[in-house]
Structure 1
Amino acid sequence: MSPRRLSGTRAWGAHARLRLRAERTWLITLPAVVLVLTALLSPSYGTAYSSEAAMARAVASARANDTMLLLYGSLSHGADPVQIAVWELGAMTCLGTSIVVVLRTASLTRGEEDRGRAELLHAASVGPARRVLGQALTLALLSALIGVGAGTGLLALDGAALADARAYGTAVALTCLLLAAQAHLAAQIASDAPGARWLGLAVLAAAYLVYGLSCSQEPGWADLPGRLSPFHLRQALSPGGQNAWLPALWGGCAWMLLVIITILTARRRDLGQGLVTMRSPRAGRPLGVGGPVPLALRLSRGGITVWALALSAAAWLLIDMGGAVVARAQEGAFDPDSGLGAILGGGDDAGEAFLGYVGSLIGALTALQAVSLANRAGADELVGRAEALASTGVRPARLLLAWWCAAAAGSGFALCCAAASAAGAGDGALGTGARDAVRLVAGQWPAALAAASVASAICGALPRWRGIAWLAPPICVGLIQFGATLDVPERVRAANPLAQAGRPGSWWLLGASAALVGIAVVRVRRRDLALASSSRSRRHPPHGIRPPAAPHREEERPCAL
């Protein structure tokens, strides 16, 4: 082996170790979250139905509902609780983890080039092939650990065998792996990291939609593309049923083929550039905004619009699927001690209860959007944009308030669109009207506003800890989903911010939001700007060792002539 190739191999090995160390948080946290959520959610499928006849009616109703087939995929006739869990919970697990993995793929691949690490690796004889291979192996390890977490969590379901857990974990891992490989290839085509994210998410959405259409329609144009979709692996492996392993072999071969194509594509482009260079038609033009608030709205209007359309579609799908669920709840098909039975009950108001449940889910997603927008004030401060704006006369408090206003406007617009969609779909599916949709869906705006205020307060005090604000919406959803099954006190569940839609508690949320924003403004005015390198660059010497003092220099005195 030549010295140059040997040095390149050593540099690649050192870079692989550094990459694993840098990704250790994701390699531990994401599989652990999947394991915990699967272990908490899967046991409810064994106790959700009061009898086998009720479960058979639920399976027949699901197989006849095109919307449920579009969302979750095909369901075999005579499915047991394990197969129902793999069908419903597996679809949401594959979709949620795939979104996270695709976003992480874009950050891992093009983020290295944006930060200049790829140039350093190229100088150390680590070419595009080795760099892409290292990234692919890291993503493969992350996908494998996610599959281990999903399969281990399924064992909490009564009746799930070890073979079922292995097949389910393999299906989840291969789905994430193939979607990550497709996003990795898309990242070589896009011109920058944001373009890689959008292109990867577009590929994921197309794969999910094509598979859903192939399951919900008669055999047609979507049948062959649906079989090629990574989401088809869960149906092909059939966890809880046949537990087939041949599709896993084909999935592994497809991953290797995608990695080879990605390596060949990476060799044909320059660092920092995509294989296809696309220039925005508005690039180079002045924004024409009159202050921080219009600037924040201008920068985030694309994401706000896409998020509003996505929430509208999600509300329509969930409510359209809820018609059969409400009918079964009114017939007493659900056990009152189960999670869904405790949420819906068995009375005539099951439709309104289901609409409130959908509203809480939409409210949680809107709260996450509000947190994302409000946290951009802390991100701008850490990367130095707030300091640049301060030099032009824009104080950091105005920047903080600008992103809070963008979060408030974006969440309000998304909830209004979702409420309009819920009003149109709920009339026929649930028997609810426009007034109920406004009260239970659009009424989640105070909760989203409170989440944005919490994020702004953290950014005003400790911008480096702004990630804590992401914890509140999932905790609130967990209280709604598992509050009854975990015997959480009623007063704690009643105090849930997502349960205040259309209630007097919304006024308390608005007051708390105003107080938190005031605290954030006062706090950001009384401290200095924080920079990402201000504290990390300081290294304290070990105890007993002091750095050498700088030599004193005698002051120069003018000599008298």
Structure 2
Amino acid sequence: MSTITRSPARRGTNAVATLWALELRRDRLQLPVWILGNAAMAGLAVTGVTQSYGTETDRSTLLATAIANPVILTFRGLPSGAGTAEFIGFLILPFLVMIAGFMSSFLAVRHTRAEEESGRAELVGATTASRGAALWATTLHGVIANVITALAITVAFTLAGLPLRGSMVAGLATGAAGLVFLGIALVGAQLFATARGANSLGVIAILVTFLISGVGNAIGTPNADLTRMESSPLAWFSPFGWAENVRPFADDAVGPLVLLLIAAAVAVLLAYVLLRQRDVGASLVAPRRGRAAARWSLRGPVTLVGRLTRGSIIAWAVGAFLTGALATSLASVVQSMGGSNPAIAAVLEAMSKSGDLQAGTVVIFFTVVGILASCCTVQIVARARQEEARGTVEPLWAASVGRRRWLASYLIIGAVAIVAVDGAAVLGSLVGLSRTGADLIQDVWIGAAGQAAVAAVFLTVTALVLVVIPRWTIGIGWTIVVLATIIGLFGPLFGLPDRLTQLSPFSQTPTLTATGVDGRGIIGILAAAVVALVLSVWLVRRRPLVTAG
């Protein structure tokens, strides 16, 4: 009787395919949201630019203003001309790359380090699967996701009427940059012992390289008519800079695309080499040892949650401080820009709901502060879900803490985080006002109060999701923030209907008008927060422990 044996290579290939199919099934809801959302943002950008900047004069004026003000250019793309297609690439390409980067980074960590942290990777390792099967399956998963992203963006731009070649190049630049951040996150999964640490590295890499590219573009060399900018060498140290120097719809350069693919391949190979240097569940960066005895402040669940989340709260607060400083520092610049171009003024007024461009600038920047505060609260509630999935919540529930105190501790720290982030933004705004002398202090306080209410909605709604459908807490929490941001912040620019933009809490914040404070939308915001708070606290009483991820 003969037996059929498979070669190790064949077994490894089958294991990778099986694991990839499992990852695809787990991400069957999340990936379509990321990909279709990115493509929709590309298509809406074409509509918005066509409606808001219909003439070459409008586009040239905005480009000249951005090039003349490095702070503005830092947070935009690389100017490549005043044509409609080139202008769209300038406005939207960095944000398409950023979305692809977040998608790829979270995907990489979710299927590698998070699997080891939960113990499921050890079960896979007990089979005939090779040690690197999970890494290669995740790499395949990320490559396919970014290829589909590139195709979706190409289709969106083409259907909107842009040239096919430029649309393909824009899609390829976005997907190739996403692969770079996939590789960086895979390296982080080998370095750090927790998914939180690996995700933090991925997010920091995205934000830091975004700023490096922005600064590199801002200190570059403009052409004579201020419609095109040549990046400085600094921008070439960032995947964002490589993607932007592809210059879709203008140069359609292939060289930076090759550079992106090479960097992605090197990062993935480095992750594999590092994987071979450690044990399953271990990390190359050793976790810091805790104290032998807890400090006196760690005597309850509230202080414990505060200790676990203080690092992320500080990071979001620093970002809010810088945003607040920009809000008041750039107000006069935006005022002069809008005064020289009625089309730009109309867009800014639509985004801010204010007739005063300086006050409108504060409103727009404090919307960004609200987004930062909302992200901070979602991250805090997501931490509650991660602790539950690991099984560390069970001893608390079995002790005197109980379910309500456990949930309340995260809600209290979430509220503290909102105050910290908004307070940092106000402090930054005061620093900016001390330099410009503008009379915008009342607008600052109103903006801070309104965005605090918005962040409270996302805090309580995410807590409600944690109570009702805990397995979907992280996915739903981040999805509603992203959707609300796109609709509320970019809706007027994209020309979305007012009824749709009003669905976003960011569109309902109070503003200072000539007749007083328009706070009609704040009642609905506060009502939604209170309802979600009451339901979450009431329903958590009989909620079972759900440890599965």
The interval holding the TM-score normalised by the smaller chain is: 0.7 to 0.9
More displaced stretch, 475-484 vs 100-109: 475-484
Residue identity opposite 2:457 in structure 1? A
Match of 2:147 among 144, 147, 166: 144
Match of 1:97 in 2: 100
Match of 1:327 among 299, 318, 336: 336
Match of 1:394 in 2: 401
Match of 2:540 in 1: 524
Question: Deviation of residue 87 (structure 1)?
Answer: 1.6
Cα distance between partner residues in 1 of 2:188 and 2:370: 32
Cα distance between partner residues in 2 of 1:118 and 1:99: 23
Match of 2:89 in 1: 86
CA contact (8 A) 2:111 2:134 kept: no
Match of 2:288 in 1: 280
Match of 2:412 in 1: 405
Mark the runs of 5 or more structure 1 residues left unpaired by the alignment.
537-561
The C-alpha deviation readout for 1:416-454, integer Å capped at 9, x for no partner, is: 111222333356679442232112134321222233223
Match of 1:69 among 73, 81, 86: 73
Residue identity opposite 1:529 in structure 2? P
Match of 2:514 in 1: none
Cα distance between partner residues in 1 of 2:443 and 2:390: 44
Match of 1:216 in 2: 218
SS of equivalent residue, structure 1 residue 274: coil
CA contact (8 A) 1:326 1:344 kept: no
CA contact (8 A) 1:50 1:335 kept: no
Match of 1:342 in 2: 350
Match of 1:54 in 2: 58
Match of 2:168 among 150, 159, 166: 166
Question: Deviation of residue 203 (structure 1)?
Answer: 3.2
SS of equivalent residue, structure 2 residue 251: coil
Question: Deviation of residue 528 (structure 1)?
Answer: 4.2
The C-alpha deviation readout for 1:222-280, integer Å capped at 9, x for no partner, is: 954531421122233210101122332333233333333332222222222223x3342
Cα distance between partner residues in 2 of 1:373 and 1:346: 33
The C-alpha deviation readout for 1:104-125, integer Å capped at 9, x for no partner, is: 3222221222233433443334
Question: Given the alignment of the two structures, is residue 354 of structure 1 paired with residue 338 of structure 2, yes or no?
Answer: no
Cα distance between partner residues in 1 of 2:459 and 2:29: 25
Match of 1:267 among 259, 270, 276: 276
> 1:370/1:191 Cα in 2 relative to 1: closer, same or farther (>3 Å)?
closer
> 1:317/1:184 Cα in 2 relative to 1: closer, same or farther (>3 Å)?
farther
> 1:456/1:304 Cα in 2 relative to 1: closer, same or farther (>3 Å)?
same
Cα distance between partner residues in 2 of 1:359 and 1:150: 30
Residue identity opposite 1:9 in structure 2? T
Cα distance between partner residues in 1 of 2:383 and 2:339: 45
CA contact (8 A) 1:450 1:509 kept: yes
Match of 2:49 in 1: 45
CA contact (8 A) 2:183 2:267 kept: yes
Cα distance between partner residues in 2 of 1:450 and 1:400: 16
CA contact (8 A) 1:42 1:89 kept: no
Cα distance between partner residues in 2 of 1:119 and 1:410: 36
Question: Deviation of residue 330 (structure 1)?
Answer: 2.7
> 1:461/1:264 Cα in 2 relative to 1: closer, same or farther (>3 Å)?
closer
The C-alpha deviation readout for 1:197-221, integer Å capped at 9, x for no partner, is: 23333333443333233222369xx
Cα distance between partner residues in 2 of 1:373 and 1:487: 33
Match of 1:542 in 2: none
Question: Deviation of residue 461 (structure 1)?
Answer: 4.4
Match of 2:496 in 1: 486
Question: Deviation of residue 178 (structure 1)?
Answer: 1.2
> 1:283/1:197 Cα in 2 relative to 1: closer, same or farther (>3 Å)?
farther
Aligned residues: 526
Question: Deviation of residue 491 (structure 1)?
Answer: 11
RMSD: 3.3
SS of equivalent residue, structure 2 residue 417: helix
Residue identity opposite 2:535 in structure 1? I
CA contact (8 A) 1:44 1:339 kept: no
Match of 2:137 in 1: 134
Cα distance between partner residues in 2 of 1:516 and 1:473: 16
More displaced stretch, 61-70 vs 169-178: 61-70
Question: Deviation of residue 128 (structure 1)?
Answer: 3.4
What percent of counterpart residues are identical?
21
Match of 1:314 among 308, 323, 328: 323
Match of 2:227 in 1: none
> 1:80/1:285 Cα in 2 relative to 1: closer, same or farther (>3 Å)?
farther
Cα distance between partner residues in 2 of 1:69 and 1:443: 28
> 1:182/1:379 Cα in 2 relative to 1: closer, same or farther (>3 Å)?
closer
* Larger CA Rg, structure 1 vs 2: 1
CA contact (8 A) 1:237 1:248 kept: yes
Cα distance between partner residues in 1 of 2:348 and 2:427: 25
Cα distance between partner residues in 2 of 1:243 and 1:430: 45
SS of equivalent residue, structure 2 residue 139: helix
Question: Deviation of residue 284 (structure 1)?
Answer: 4.6
Query: How do 1:173-322 residues align onto structure 2 when only pairs under 5 Å count?
Result: 173-217=175-219, 223-224=232-233, 226-275=235-284, 277-280=285-288, 282=290, 284-288=292-296, 289-317=298-326, 320=329
Q: TM-score, normalised by structure 2?
A: 0.85
The C-alpha deviation readout for 1:467-522, integer Å capped at 9, x for no partner, is: 54555544544146426933425995798664236655546644653454333323
CA contact (8 A) 1:420 1:437 kept: no
Cα distance between partner residues in 2 of 1:107 and 1:495: 29
Mark the runs of 5 or more structure 2 residues left unpaired by the alignment.
222-230, 512-516
Question: Deviation of residue 298 (structure 1)?
Answer: 1.6
CA contact (8 A) 1:178 1:255 kept: yes
Match of 2:509 in 1: 499
CA contact (8 A) 1:343 1:354 kept: no
CA contact (8 A) 1:497 1:509 kept: no
